[in-house]
Protein backbone atom coordinates (compact mmCIF):
# COMPACT_ATOMS: atom_id res chain seq x y z
CA UNK A 1 0.00 0.00 0.00
CA UNK A 2 1.46 3.38 -0.92
CA UNK A 3 0.93 6.82 0.53
CA UNK A 4 -2.34 8.37 -0.52
CA UNK A 5 -2.93 11.72 -2.23
CA UNK A 6 -3.97 13.36 1.04
CA UNK A 7 -0.93 12.42 3.14
CA UNK A 8 2.73 11.55 2.56
CA UNK A 9 2.36 8.55 4.89
CA UNK A 10 0.42 5.32 5.02
CA UNK A 11 -0.45 2.71 7.58
CA UNK A 12 0.65 -0.83 6.71
CA UNK A 13 -1.65 -3.49 8.15
CA UNK A 14 0.07 -6.85 8.11
CA UNK A 15 -2.28 -9.00 10.16
CA UNK A 16 -1.51 -12.58 9.23
CA UNK A 17 -4.20 -14.34 11.27
CA UNK A 18 -7.93 -13.90 11.53
CA UNK A 19 -8.23 -14.05 15.31
CA UNK A 20 -10.49 -12.14 17.71
CA UNK A 21 -8.57 -8.87 18.02
CA UNK A 22 -9.58 -5.23 17.60
CA UNK A 23 -7.37 -2.84 19.64
CA UNK A 24 -6.44 -0.99 16.45
CA UNK A 25 -10.05 -0.10 15.71
CA UNK A 26 -10.70 1.14 19.23
CA UNK A 27 -7.41 3.10 19.29
CA UNK A 28 -8.29 4.86 16.02
CA UNK A 29 -10.42 7.87 16.92
CA UNK A 30 -11.12 8.86 13.30
CA UNK A 31 -12.46 5.56 11.94
CA UNK A 32 -9.48 5.07 9.62
CA UNK A 33 -9.28 1.41 10.68
CA UNK A 34 -12.43 -0.69 10.66
CA UNK A 35 -13.49 -4.32 10.96
CA UNK A 36 -16.89 -5.74 10.09
CA UNK A 37 -16.45 -8.75 12.40
CA UNK A 38 -14.11 -9.32 15.35
CA UNK A 39 -12.15 -12.02 13.51
CA UNK A 40 -11.76 -10.05 10.25
CA UNK A 41 -8.48 -8.53 9.22
CA UNK A 42 -8.73 -4.74 9.61
CA UNK A 43 -9.34 -2.40 6.68
CA UNK A 44 -7.47 0.91 6.36
CA UNK A 45 -9.27 4.02 5.08
CA UNK A 46 -6.39 6.42 4.28
CA UNK A 47 -8.61 9.45 3.75
CA UNK A 48 -9.58 9.32 7.45
CA UNK A 49 -6.04 8.86 8.86
CA UNK A 50 -4.53 11.77 10.79
CA UNK A 51 -1.17 10.07 11.40
CA UNK A 52 -1.45 9.85 15.20
CA UNK A 53 0.16 6.36 15.31
CA UNK A 54 -2.10 5.19 18.15
CA UNK A 55 -2.95 2.05 16.15
CA UNK A 56 0.77 1.18 15.85
CA UNK A 57 1.23 1.29 19.63
CA UNK A 58 -2.07 -0.50 20.33
CA UNK A 59 -1.54 -3.58 18.15
CA UNK A 60 -0.57 -6.51 20.40
CA UNK A 61 0.69 -8.48 17.41
CA UNK A 62 3.05 -5.72 16.23
CA UNK A 63 1.37 -5.97 12.83
CA UNK A 64 0.76 -2.28 12.11
CA UNK A 65 3.42 0.06 10.77
CA UNK A 66 3.49 3.77 9.96
CA UNK A 67 5.41 4.37 6.75
CA UNK A 68 6.61 7.40 4.84
CA UNK A 69 7.53 5.81 1.49
CA UNK A 70 9.34 8.95 0.28
CA UNK A 71 10.94 10.87 3.14
CA UNK A 72 13.23 12.77 0.74
CA UNK A 73 16.75 12.23 -0.60
CA UNK A 74 15.90 8.68 -1.70
CA UNK A 75 15.02 7.70 1.87
CA UNK A 76 11.93 6.12 3.44
CA UNK A 77 10.89 5.70 7.07
CA UNK A 78 8.97 3.09 8.97
CA UNK A 79 7.68 3.36 12.53
CA UNK A 80 7.03 0.31 14.69
CA UNK A 81 6.55 -0.59 18.37
CA UNK A 82 9.73 -1.43 20.29
CA UNK A 83 9.21 -3.04 23.69
CA UNK A 84 12.76 -3.97 24.61
CA UNK A 85 15.52 -2.35 26.62
CA UNK A 86 17.77 -0.67 25.91
CA UNK A 87 15.88 1.68 23.61
CA UNK A 88 17.78 2.87 20.57
CA UNK A 89 18.76 6.53 20.43
CA UNK A 90 18.18 9.07 17.68
CA UNK A 91 21.06 9.03 15.22
CA UNK A 92 22.12 5.49 16.10
CA UNK A 93 23.06 3.26 13.18
CA UNK A 94 21.26 -0.09 13.29
CA UNK A 95 20.56 -3.12 11.14
CA UNK A 96 17.07 -2.97 9.63
CA UNK A 97 15.35 -6.35 9.33
CA UNK A 98 12.29 -7.75 7.61
CA UNK A 99 9.19 -9.30 9.21
CA UNK A 100 11.10 -12.54 9.73
CA UNK A 101 14.14 -10.93 11.39
CA UNK A 102 16.39 -11.24 8.35
CA UNK A 103 18.82 -8.35 7.72
CA UNK A 104 17.76 -6.00 4.91
CA UNK A 105 19.95 -2.89 5.06
CA UNK A 106 21.64 -0.36 7.31
CA UNK A 107 19.34 2.24 8.86
CA UNK A 108 19.48 5.21 11.19
CA UNK A 109 17.13 5.76 14.12
CA UNK A 110 15.16 8.87 13.14
CA UNK A 111 12.89 9.10 16.21
CA UNK A 112 11.97 7.36 19.47
CA UNK A 113 8.53 8.38 20.68
CA UNK A 114 7.22 7.70 24.16
CA UNK A 115 3.82 9.26 24.82
CA UNK A 116 1.35 8.48 27.61
CA UNK A 117 -1.21 7.61 24.91
CA UNK A 118 1.10 4.77 23.78
CA UNK A 119 0.66 2.99 27.14
CA UNK A 120 4.38 2.43 27.85
CA UNK A 121 5.11 1.26 24.29
CA UNK A 122 7.91 3.14 22.55
CA UNK A 123 7.61 3.76 18.82
CA UNK A 124 10.87 3.74 16.88
CA UNK A 125 11.25 5.28 13.43
CA UNK A 126 14.01 4.11 11.11
CA UNK A 127 15.29 5.99 8.06
CA UNK A 128 16.77 3.88 5.26
CA UNK A 129 17.12 3.74 1.44
CA UNK A 130 13.64 3.92 -0.11
CA UNK A 131 14.33 0.90 -2.31
CA UNK A 132 13.83 -1.26 0.82
CA UNK A 133 10.49 0.26 1.89
CA UNK A 134 8.55 -2.91 1.11
CA UNK A 135 10.87 -5.02 3.26
CA UNK A 136 11.98 -3.09 6.37
CA UNK A 137 9.75 -3.70 9.39
CA UNK A 138 11.98 -3.69 12.47
CA UNK A 139 15.55 -3.44 13.71
CA UNK A 140 17.93 -6.08 14.92
CA UNK A 141 17.29 -6.16 18.65
CA UNK A 142 19.82 -4.21 20.64
CA UNK A 143 21.65 -5.97 23.44
CA UNK A 144 22.41 -4.62 26.85
CA UNK A 145 26.06 -4.11 27.70
CA UNK A 146 27.08 -6.35 30.60
CA UNK A 147 29.88 -4.91 32.62
Single out the residue of 44, 89, 87 nearest to residue 63, CA to CA. Answer: 44
Q: What's the count of helices (H) and strands (E) in the chain, helices before strands?
A: 2, 9
Coil/strand/helix, residue 34 = strand
Task: For the sheet with 138-139, list strands across it.
Answer: 10-13, 64-72, 75-82, 122-129, 103-113, 93-97, 138-139
Give the tens place of pLDDT for each residue, 100-131: 999 999 999 999 999 999 999 999 999 999 99
Q: What is the C-alpha to C-alpha distance for residues 64 and 33, in angstroms, rounded to an integer?
A: 11
Q: How far is CA 27 from CA 10, 24, 38, 49, 112, in A?
A: 16, 5, 15, 12, 20
Given a cut of 50, whether residue 2 has pLDDT beyond it is no
Q: Which residues contact 49 (CB under 8 A, 6 or more apart)?
A: 7, 9, 10, 11, 30, 32
Average pLDDT over residues 26-49: 94
- What pLDDT is stored for residue 142 in this prediction? 82
Q: What is the C-alpha to C-alpha distance for residues 98 and 135, in angstroms, rounded to an integer?
A: 5
Q: Name the phi and psi angles at 26, rounded to 5.
A: -75, -30
Confidence of residue 18 (pLDDT cuts 50, 70, 90): confident
- What pLDDT is stored for residue 1 in this prediction? 41
Comparison of pLDDT for 97 and 2, the residue scoring more? 97
Give the tens place of pLDDT for each residue, 40-92: 999 999 999 999 999 999 999 999 999 999 998 999 999 999 999 999 999 99
- What pLDDT is stored for residue 4 in this prediction? 52
First to last CA, the chain: 45
Amino acid sequence: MSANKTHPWTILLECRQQIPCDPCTTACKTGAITMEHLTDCPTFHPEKCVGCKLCVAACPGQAIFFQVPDAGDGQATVTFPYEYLPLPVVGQEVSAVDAFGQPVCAAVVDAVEQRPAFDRTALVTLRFPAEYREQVRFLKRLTREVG
